[in-house]
Structure 1
């Protein structure tokens, strides 16, 4: 009996679908291009199920929704999340195969504990929902935060503000995921931001 929650690929004409795929790896080039590698189950003979992966290419045309139907940014998808995906039946013959994704629905967030960081704002990128903190001239001291639309941002009085309200030099307290990318500067997801 297989207790693995991963779903199998289902083909419907020129479109393929996976329900309950596990995000194994992500690449985010900017907030309009990236890819995710997901694993899914493949039923085989003798009641055996194998786990395989596929890389789904994400573009500005890919619709990405959270479990509430709200838009999410490409860079907000992190390893450990569960997603449902609709993508093209045209795939490369690479390992893993690649296909262009039409729709990604994030079903669950990683259950990683959060960490709190207090630092100075370098730049708030409203267009790409990003916040850069640290010392402006020292890239090794900087951190890039992905700021989903659902992330609460508050001023000193605790009132909600927009990402555009953050200015260079402001001191902020950011509660964020306890994992980050290996890039320079490292990148992680902000859960809440408060101006101090």
Structure 2
């Protein structure tokens, strides 16, 4: 494929030396480690007879390549897989091999909507009897969040040992994985899945 012909602008967007393809399909992922390797993508291109053909491009992934999902969450090369669609930004300098190869600057994977959010904050108080954990600013209710704890909630320390809620003290720094859905109350409430804390307590990390 001659990337200088009239079809070039129909499938790619160019900004200086950076090219972009949207909604390409991952055909293969090769990893030398979690940060380097390559991604082979395919994309539809219309020929002179108005037929849509698949073309291929190998994106070489290096340590400086940004990999993320459409929600802005950072991913690694190991999170990419065959069948995922991506928006890719890459160098306009390509090899003449089949398929052509180029350096990938940014790969945005179109993944499913996240069901879990992660938050790191200070403990305001705990209520073991009713199964609540409150985090945030102890002096501002508008800057707090309440997490509901069920029998399925996992509570661990920084050594991955399971502990009980009554071992957590106000002021300790905790990391929580919770449901993306939140109530409209003040403070908002969300279901807590995984909860870990750091022994450094009030001094932080």
- TM-score, normalising length from structure 1? 0.53
1:13 aligns with 2:8: no
Shift of 1:161: 5.3
Unaligned runs of 5+ in 1: 1-6, 110-155, 167-192
Q: Indicate the residue corresponding to 2:105 in structure 1.
A: 102
Shift of 1:15: 1.0
Unaligned runs of 5+ in 2: 1-9, 113-150, 162-193, 195-205
Shift of 1:58: 0.6
SS of 1:47 mapped into structure 2: coil
> Is the 1:9–1:40 contact (alpha carbons within 8 Å) kept by the matching residues of 2?
no
Shift of 1:28: 0.9
1:79 aligns with 2:82: yes
CA distance in 1, matches of 2:39, 2:92: 16
- TM-score, normalising length from structure 2? 0.51
**Alignment size in residue pairs:** 116
Shift of 1:164: 6.9
CA distance in 1, matches of 2:79, 2:73: 13
Shift of 1:66: 1.0
Alignment of structure 1 residues 47-62 onto 2, 5 Å = 47-62=50-65
Alignment of structure 1 residues 154-165 onto 2, 5 Å = 158-159=153-154, 165=160
Which of the two has greater strand per residue? 1
CA distance in 2, matches of 1:164, 1:51: 49
Alignment of structure 1 residues 23-172 onto 2, 5 Å = 23-108=26-111, 158-159=153-154, 165=160
> Is the 1:31–1:74 contact (alpha carbons within 8 Å) kept by the matching residues of 2?
yes
SS of 1:22 mapped into structure 2: strand
CA distance in 2, matches of 1:8, 1:162: 50
Shift of 1:108: 2.9
Aligned alpha-carbon RMSD (Å):
2.7
Shift of 1:157: 6.2
CA distance in 2, matches of 1:21, 1:70: 19
CA distance in 2, matches of 1:78, 1:49: 24
CA distance in 1, matches of 2:12, 2:90: 10
